[in-house]
Each structure stands twice: as structure tokens, then as C-alpha cells.
Amino acid sequence: MRVVALNPDAIGDFVLRTPAFNALLDRGFEVSLAVRDMNMPLVRMYTPRAKAIQYPCNPYGPRFNLDSAEGQQFLEGLRQARPDLLAFASFQYTQFEIDVADRLPGVRCAGFDGLIFKEGFPPFPSEQMRKRLNPCVTVAQHTLEIRKNERLCAAILGEGVTLPAPSLQAPESAVADARIRLRSVGLDGQSFWAVCAGDLPHARVKNWEYAKWAELLAGLVHRHSIQLLFVGSQDEHEVTNHIRSLMGDAASRTASLTGEPGGLESVVGVLELSRGYIGKDTGPMHIAASLGKPVVSVFGAGDWPRFVPAARIGRTVTMVMPCAGCSWCCHLEKSHCVKDVPVDVMARLADLVVSGECKDFQAVELQPDALMSAATVRQSWERSWNVRRAMHEEWGRFNQWHSDRLQDIEHLKAALAVLTKERNALAGAEARLAELSAAVAVEREKWASDQEALEKRLAEYQTAAEQESELVRRADSQLAQLEQNHVTALERAREEANQRFSEAAARSDRELVKLRTALTEAVRHRDDTKHVVERLKAAVTEKEELRARLDSLESESLAKMADLEITLQRSRGDLNTALRVLPQLRSDNAELRRQLDALADHEEIALQRQRAEFDVLEADRVNRGQQIEALHEHIASLNKAFDAYKGRLALRVLRIFGLA
């Protein structure tokens, strides 16, 4: 079975759960642990066979969101683990765990019948989470944490189980890093006790008083000649130095690592090299106990005895007040359960542990004396009386505020009625605007249709004009061709006639020359006169025939030229007819264009007028919508302020009766 265990808590909670995780791994379960960044090194050291998934933020803080990029990456890591079971390892849930369960609806969930944590309010039970859990383990809130984990592990396994105390073997790398850090503060190879006594403002209620820490630690140094090494976070450095300054000359036998950067692995190495742990209830205390080191710690009773360390040797002390188990919602001037633990009692118990005489572990519960109990009761009564008086004053202010808000609500209702009426009027205007828009659309479609028809007719006229232009061009071309052919034929006929006439004249001249020669010979030879005359007559006859043939050719040429002239006149008539029709077509085309432009201008003016009316109505509608939204926002802010005041009032009532 694949199990994903959600661990939203800090170091100590995780250390106390590791035996349960290892028990699941020993049974063959595939375990993935979702932990905060501070606990990632502990997963590798305590449960090396388990997979680690890091929380994207602090689940107990206000800034968590599964819809962010980091939240989606965290969910993707959970889905990749393909869990069959989602285990809520903490008794106190957060909204983060609830959201994760909702995002994985098909995965079975197991956990405690615990409480929901919400910042600013005491933890409270959640019926919704109880229905979601199967199995749901019922256990008292302040039961030892290791016993709680034992019950949850048994419910998951389906069989009884006894868990051992947490156990850790410090890695060699952590020890080597610790030796380097110890060398930097002059404790290389020396025996020392680890001390964690500093704190942060939000956790100061759980810590012992600084002067008492200084007195206890200085006494241990003087009585046992021991070296002390302060450990903790960098944020605790200032308080640590203040405690050391209160120790007097004993501070010379102390050193501190709180002001230096270092990871959790280095702290594990330092605790491994130490003789034991002295300090408050914190994560390093549980790590030291799991390393088998003696533990001396001062506890408060806010969660007593839930987080008592699982140490083999040591003493843990607290003052059990009547208000013990308050989950640190302390209503007193100071937390007496931890602040009033006597120094002499702690010194006596610490001497037993430091000297080596102590061979077991005990959780010592001190009882307050009568004076302290009376003082606690008096403080509680005075605080309750002050809270009650403040509540009466606050109640009067609340009644006045409530009356004012009722009047504001009446005014807002009246304004809302006016706005509703105006909104209805605006809706009517919008309806009319929609009708106008529909009419405009119809007119626009009609105008587009008319424009399309006119453009079609114009295209037809343009086509006809182009065809007529083409006919005129062709007629001009044919006329020019005919004229050219006529001139060419006439010139060719004239050239042929002239050539033939020239040839006939040349032949006649040659014959005349011959005749003259013959006549001369006839004169000389009178006997041949008759023959010469006959030849001369024949030549004259041939000349007449040639002239007749030339006249015939000229008549044929004139007839052809007459036919060409008739054809040319007909072509010119057709051309003149086309030229007479063309201006009329051009005039009709110009008139159609003028009508089309006038219609377009008229439609454009009407459309602009309708658009202007639409813009006015739209601006008025947007203005009314903004007024309505502003009114709704004002009402929402009033409701939010009223709910916040009710929450503060409820919290104060709970504090009066000691429930908060």
C-alpha cells in the first residue's frame, strides 16, 4: 500500500512520529512524507527509506494557496506518489490539509479525531473532517504524542503495535561538520553540554525567565566545572547573548553557535558530540533524546504532558496550574506554569543529571502553593472584570454603531429603490435602443442591398461602355485598315498601269525605230515598200489594242475604288451612330453615380445620428451600472465590518468566560 503522510508541524513533532513511519516501512508500505523545509534533512536521517515531498509554505501561516505555482507543484508531487491512503499525522489540522484532501477526492484519508487550527481563535473540532477520515482515531488531546502515533499506526496496519522511542545514528558528515564548527568556537575535542535557552517573541510565553536560566547555568558551571555550548536559530542570538551576559564570570566557560549560519545536520552533529542537553521544550531537545543523550528541560503546562521527550535519562519539570492544558491561550499576566518554576528545584534535578547520578527519566510535576493559586485566581478575576467592563462599554458602542448602520441600511435601501427604478428605466431605454439598433440593421441591410444593385447596374453600364469603346476602336481600326488597303490597291493599280503603258510605249518606240529603219531601207529598197507598209499597219493595230487593254484596266481599278468608297461610307455611318449613342450612355452612367453618392451620403448621415443616440444611451447605462456597483461595494464593506465586529465580540465573550 502506498501511504502519503502529511506533517505540517515543526522538528519535535516529526521526530516523535518517526517510529510510526519506520513501522509502516518495515511492514512493506511505500511511505512518502510531506514535510516543511526545516524537516527535509531529518527525513533522510530518521526515515531514509521514505520519499520526501516539501510543503510550499508554512501551513500554520496565512500565506498558503494550492492554486499558486508552488501549490500546484506540491499537488503534482502528491499525485505522482499515487497514494492509496492519505494520513494526517498531526492531531491539530490546518486548512491546508483540508484543501489537500478536497483536491484528492478519490483517496482514502486516516487521522485523529482532532481539532482545526485557525489563527486568532482557539482550536475547535470539525465534523466535516471526522466524516472524511476512515479510520478516524479517537484519542485525548494531551495524550503523549508517541502514544497517539502508536494508535494511528495500529489503525492503518489493522493490528496492535508497540512503538519504540525515536532513535537516531548521527551521519558521519554531520559529525565532521560539527567538529569544524566546534573548532571555530574553541571547543575542539572538549567535553560540553548543549544549551538551548533563547526564544522568539511569539514563543516567549513557553520559555523560562532569562534571569533564572542564567542563575541555573552559572551554578552548574561553578559546581561541576562544565563547558556550555548554546545552540539555536540565528533569530535567537540576541536573547542568548543576553542570558550569557547575566551569568557573570561563568560566561567565560560558555560558547555560542546561534549567531552563525548552519543547517539542521550540523545541529545533529553538535548534539552527538555533546554530553547532554539543557534547555527549553524545542526540536533539538527531541533530537538529543533520540541520540540517547541525557535531557534537562523546563516545560510549560499549555500542552502538558503531550510533548514530553522520549529520553532514557533526564528530568523534565513543569508547574501544573489549574489552567493547565490551555493550548497556550494564556489569559494571565504571565505563564506561571513555566515562569514560576523554582531555580533551586531545577538546580537540584540538573545536578543529578550532570553529575551522572541520574539513571532514569522522570517528568516532575510541581504544584503551586496557596499564595500562587490565590494570585492566579485574583488575576483571572481582575482580568474577567476588566473584560466584562470593557464588554459593557463595547456593547454600548456596538448598539450605537448598530443603530447607525440600520439607518445607513434604510438610506441605502431607499437609494437602491431609486437606482432600481432608474435601472428599469435604463432597461427600457436599452430595449428601445435594441429596437433602434434592429431598425438600423434592417435599413443598413436594405441600403447594402440597394448599393449592391446600383453597383451591379454600374458594372453593367461600365461593361457596355467598355464594349462600345471596343467596337469604336475596332471600327476605327477597320476603317483605317480599309483606307490603307484602298490607297495601297490604288497605288498598286496605277503602278501596274504605268508599268504596262511604259512597256507598251517602249515596244512601240522600238517598233518605230525598226519601222524607220525599214522605211529607210524601203526608200533604199523600193521593192519592199508594200511589205513595210503592211508591217507598219500591224504595229499600229497592236498599239491600239494595247491602249484598249490599258483603258480596261483603269476602268476595273475605278470600279474597285468605288466599292471601297461605299464600304468606307457604311463603316463611317456605323461609327457615327456609335459616337452619337456613347455620350448618352456616359450621361446615364454619371447620373447613376450621382444618385448612388447621394444615397450613400443620406444613409451615412442617418447612421451617424443613430450612433450618436446609441453612444449617449450607452454612457448613461454605464454610469448607472457604476453607481449600482459602488452601492453594492458599500453594502458589502458594511457587512464585512459588521461580521468582523461580531467576530471580535464573540472572541471577547469567550475570553470573559475563560474559553479563549
Backbone angles phi, psi at 279, to 5 degrees: 165, -160
Q: What is the CA radius of gyration of the chain?
A: 59
Please tell me the predicted confidence (pLDDT) of residue 297. Answer: 95
CA distance 465 to 581: 10
Amino acid at 380: S
Strand pairing of 2-7 and 30-35?
parallel
CA distance 153 to 137: 10
Please tell me the predicted confidence (pLDDT) of residue 222. Answer: 94
**How does DSSP classify residue 204?**
G
Amino acid at 109: C
CA distance 597 to 586: 17
Contact (Cβ atoms closer than 8 angstroms) between residue 224 and residue 355: yes
CA distance 367 to 12: 26
Where does the pLDDT of residue 336 fall: very low under 50, low under 70, confident under 90, or very high at 90 and above? confident
CA distance 132 to 610: 62
Bond from prior residue into 135 cis (ω within 30 degrees of 0):
yes
* Chain center to CA of 485: 87
Helix (H) or strand (E) holding 108: strand 108-112
CA distances from 415 to 281, 402, 635 (A): 60, 19, 12
Contact (Cβ atoms closer than 8 angstroms) between residue 11 and residue 281: no
Closest-CA residue to 547 (of 513, 515, 507):
507
Query: Concatenated DSSP letters for 475-503?
Result: HHHHHHHHHHHHHHHHHHHHHHHHHHHHH
3-state DSSP of 589-626: HHHHHHHHHHHHHHHHHHHHHHHHHHHHHHHHHHHHHH
Q: Which grid cell is 488?
A: 495601297
Helix (H) or strand (E) holding 434: helix 370-524
Where does the pLDDT of residue 190 fall: very low under 50, low under 70, confident under 90, or very high at 90 and above? confident
String of b and e for 450-461 (b: at least 16 CB within 10 Å)?
Answer: eeeebeeeeeeb
CA distance 239 to 554: 142
Residue 198 CB contacts under 8 Å (≥ 6 apart), including other chains: 230, 232, 233, 236, 237, 238, 239, 240, 243, 258
CA distance 521 to 516: 8
pLDDT tens sequence across 392-438: 777 778 788 888 888 888 888 888 888 888 888 888 888 888 888 78
CA distance 353 to 256: 22
Mean pLDDT of 210-220: 94
CA distance 575 to 71: 89
pLDDT tens sequence across 249-290: 999 999 999 977 778 889 999 999 999 999 999 999 999 999
CA distance 325 to 117: 16
pTM: 0.60
Please tell me the predicted confidence (pLDDT) of residue 551. Answer: 66
Contact (Cβ atoms closer than 8 angstroms) between residue 529 and residue 522: yes
Taken as a whole, the chain contains a residue count of 660
Mean pLDDT of 215-221: 95
Please tell me the predicted confidence (pLDDT) of residue 298. Answer: 95
Contact (Cβ atoms closer than 8 angstroms) between residue 285 and residue 295: yes
- Kindly report the average pLDDT of the chain as a whole number: 81
Residue 186 CB contacts under 8 Å (≥ 6 apart), including other chains: 255
Amino acid at 205: V
Q: Which grid cell is 32?
A: 512518502
Strand pairing of 108-112 and 133-137?
parallel
Amino acid at 283: G
pLDDT tens sequence across 430-459: 888 888 878 878 877 888 787 787 778 777
Query: Concatenated DSSP letters for 221-253?
Result: HHHH---EEE---GGGHHHHHHHHHTTGGGGGG
Where does the pLDDT of residue 196 fall: very low under 50, low under 70, confident under 90, or very high at 90 and above? very high
* Chain center to CA of 8: 26
